[in-house]
Chain A
Amino acid sequence: MKYHYYPGCSLEGTAREYDQSARALLAALGVQLSVIDGWTCCGASAAEATSALLALALPARNLALAERQAEAMDVLVPCSACYLNLKTAAEKTRTDALLAAQINAVLGAEQLHLQGRLRVRHLLDVLTTDLGAAAVRAKVVRPLTGLRIAPYYGCQCLRPYADFDDPERPTSMDPLIRAAGAEVFPWQMGGRCCGASHMSTQHDVGIALVAGILEAARGAAAIVTVCPMCQMNLEAFQGAAGRAAGNDLHINILYLPQLIGLAVGLDASVLGLRLNLAFDNALIRSIPVAA
């Protein structure tokens, strides 16, 4: 199994551990990745707030670069915001010929052209649909017995394109968490919004949203995420969120491939766990040693 890989800006910096753990897990599951040569920013949540054309042209450029590579493969994206931007560009140009011509007029400035041949896939979609829980289970050497894990999906891997999961009550992570030997913490907050860039632009609103999510996860051993923005919001502001809620809201926050990676026997250093802002090594120690 082989994919084009679009890491996105966060995975080079503040979410390096997501990049490391996603690559390590996919390699362990027999997946090959080909990084899109010369990739640039997808526009994040800034382009759509600035210019409608720019918001489509920036992700389209990356798709055009992927198309230029020899093999036609799906484009795998771990970041939910990047995923949605790339997916939106692919979908809109596929269904609107006028728009596609306009985007290609932009891309033509650097001799690029988007044909619209490639599918955009979120990492979670690939894990759940292409690989599946059985493939994960087959690789598990250290089941995460006794850990109750709260799956957090956030928004943009689910909505508006409900490609691989229920956009209201997502469940795609459940079989993967169980395959890793852990339990699924029952909660209703998996698809709720973390506030995205509010944490930077309208801080108090962001804190309120994060506090609600962390509060609901009390009793879980960890929350797992599939997006660098969700991860940062949930892990970096636990003190402030706890003060706002009048409660201790500290909890482990890991990326999904980090959690599964532990179960398939990947080393904590390979998974970048030391880079997490809210991760206590006691969690690793609490995993029973394989029989």
Chain B
Amino acid sequence: MSASTGHPQESASPQAHDDLEHVRQMVQSCIQCGTCSGSCPNAFAMDLTPRQLWRLVLLDRREAVFQSRTFMLCSACYFCTLRCPRGLPLTEAMHVLKQTASREKLERYRPVTAFYRHFMGSIRRHGRVNELEFMTYYFAEMMKPMLPLRYSGLGLRLVAKGKLSLRWPLRRTQPLEALFRKVAELEDAK
């Protein structure tokens, strides 16, 4: 495992350090039984199994944790959380790792975090998600000309069914602006 040489490649912010410590506390009593790995529908696509990931968290191997795509492959099915014999909140621990990757803008996770970021931007502007707008921003950031094609067939079908509006949202009602601001304020104060 090349990721475990122990030399941090990205300097971690204090907040990111707190995050990993938070996750470590969440999985502290892990007994490495592997029930999570055996229950995970996405394990086949992961570079580390969930069990291996938790071990690396416990060993504070930050660089190995944040080189793995395992936590980004969590689809929040909650099978591991349901079955963990220690009752650990494993799905939630995966979320905290995603939050760190998102906040620290770690480049290797950008194809996924950009998707979430543009989704959040859209609901911040409009209160409810505007699919056309957020996918347009997402595609623009990804700069992969072929990427929209993967969805264009579906997009056209949805438009034909009247399920996807082609109208660009001009009015920004921003009913969630106060909430977003307050959350940012509280998080910065931490």
A-to-B contact residues, CB < 8 Å: 9, 12-16, 38, 40-41, 43-55, 57-58, 61, 102, 105-110, 155-156, 159-160, 162, 167-168, 192-193, 195-198, 200-205, 208-209, 236-237, 274-275, 277
Contact = CB atoms under 8 A, between A and B. Distances in A.
A41 B123 contact: yes
B155 to A, nearest CB: 10
Nearest to A53: B183
A203 B148 CA distance: 12
Contacts of A110: 178-179
Nearest to A236: B154
B128 A208 contact: no
B42 A205 contact: yes
A205 B119 CA distance: 21
A12 B129 CA distance: 10
7 contacts: A9-B128, A38-B175, A50-B117, A159-B81, A196-B75, A209-B42, A237-B154
B75 A198 contact: yes
Contacts, number: 160
Interface of B, helix, strand, loop or mixed by DSSP: helix
A109 B76 contact: no
B179 A50 contact: no
B83 to A, nearest CB: 8
Given A9-B123, A46-B119, A196-B76, 4 more contacts: A9-B129, A13-B165, A45-B76, A195-B41
Interface stretch (B4-12, B29-37, B55-63, B92-100): B92-100
Interface residues of B, number: 53
B98 A48 contact: yes
Given A200-B115, A205-B45, A107 B120 contact: no
Nearest to A16: B163
A46 B120 contact: yes
Interface string B65-89: 0000000110111110110000000
B107 interface: no
A197 B183 contact: no
Among A54, A203, A204, chain B packs the most CB atoms within 10 A around the CB of A54
Nearest to B147: A203
B110 to A, nearest CB: 11
A57 B182 CA distance: 10
A201 B76 contact: no
Contacts of B79: 155, 159, 193
B112 A160 contact: no
Contact of A52 (B95, B128, B150): B95
A110 B182 CA distance: 10
B131 A52 contact: no
Given A40-B127, A48-B98, A203-B150, A109 B45 contact: no
B75 A159 contact: no
Contact of A51 (B78, B176, B187): B187
A202 B45 CA distance: 10
A262 B139 CA distance: 39
B91 interface: yes
A200 B115 CA distance: 8
A13 B41 contact: no
